[in-house]
Structure 1
Amino acid sequence: MQEITSFDEWQEMLDQSTQFLLYVKTENCSVCEGLYPQVAALESEYPFPFYRVNATAVPEIAGQLALFTAPVVLLFHDKKELARFARIVPMNDLKKRMEELVRWGNVEND
């Protein structure tokens, strides 16, 4: 999972990526640390990139995305948020939405 370390990096990635997953964490968040390996393990199963950001280090992202808790998993398609999972992330629901994202990408590529 690639790390986003600045707001400019976030803007550039948002402009360049058609589809992606964004994992948002904060400092000293035990739930964030526990969920991260589960989400990261999915990266090899999907054709779009996974990114992570520490909202404590890049607070502008939290402001722009209206994030009020952590962890948050966001799925994006064409610069728009497709799905949001905050704090409690049911892995089956996340996988279902990720499959939808794959199908959306395949429709556009046909």
Structure 2
Amino acid sequence: MMKDIGSFQEWNDIAEKEPQLGLFVKTDHCSVCEGLYPQVAALAERYRFPFYRVNAAEVPEIAGQLSLFTAPVVLLFHEGKETARFARFVQMEQLKQRMDELEKWGIADA
């Protein structure tokens, strides 16, 4: 299950300590966000790295700091750097391929 992020400071703390992670960004009144979330959450369950969820309407600093101009957005990070960004209409097969790569990098780093 994805863990919710409630503040920009919480995001910074997580981003600093997690070698690999995923972030699902949604906003209020977004039907695409609501439709995509269960698919991404189900996919995230299959990987060892953590996945987080944040509502950009509740944590607006995250949208500015990560240059997010739409929702939903799925971001993947490796060692604090963004490695993939999927915005609005996410192709699940492409997301899965990038998540597979991220997991392999994590295994290689271990």
Range class of TM-score, shorter chain: over 0.9
The answer to whether 1:66 aligns with 2:67 is yes
Counterpart CA distance in 2 for 1:105 and 1:14 is: 15
- Which residue in 1 is equivalent to 2:21? 20
Counterpart CA distance in 1 for 2:109 and 2:50 is: 17
TM-score by length of 1: 0.97
- Which residue in 1 is equivalent to 2:50? 49
The aligned runs of 1:26-105 (5 Å cut-off) are 26-105=27-106
Deviation at 1:30, TM superposition (A): 0.3
Task: Give % identity.
Answer: 64
Matched residue of 1:45: which SS?
coil
Deviation at 1:108, TM superposition (A): 1.0
Counterpart CA distance in 1 for 2:50 and 2:61 is: 21
Counterpart CA distance in 2 for 1:23 and 1:102 is: 17
Matched residue of 1:46: which SS?
coil
User: What residue identity is the alignment partner of 2:45?
Assistant: S
RMSD (CA atoms) = 0.6
Counterpart CA distance in 2 for 1:73 and 1:21 is: 7
Q: Which runs of 5+ in 1 are unaligned?
A: none
Deviation at 1:43, TM superposition (A): 2.1
Q: Which runs of 5+ in 2 are unaligned?
A: none
CA-to-aligned-CA distance 1:81-105 (integer Å, 9 cap, x gap): 0000000100000000000001111
Counterpart CA distance in 1 for 2:107 and 2:51 is: 18
Divergent runs of 4+, >2 A: none
Number of aligned pairs? 109
Larger deviation, residues 40-49 vs 64-73: 40-49
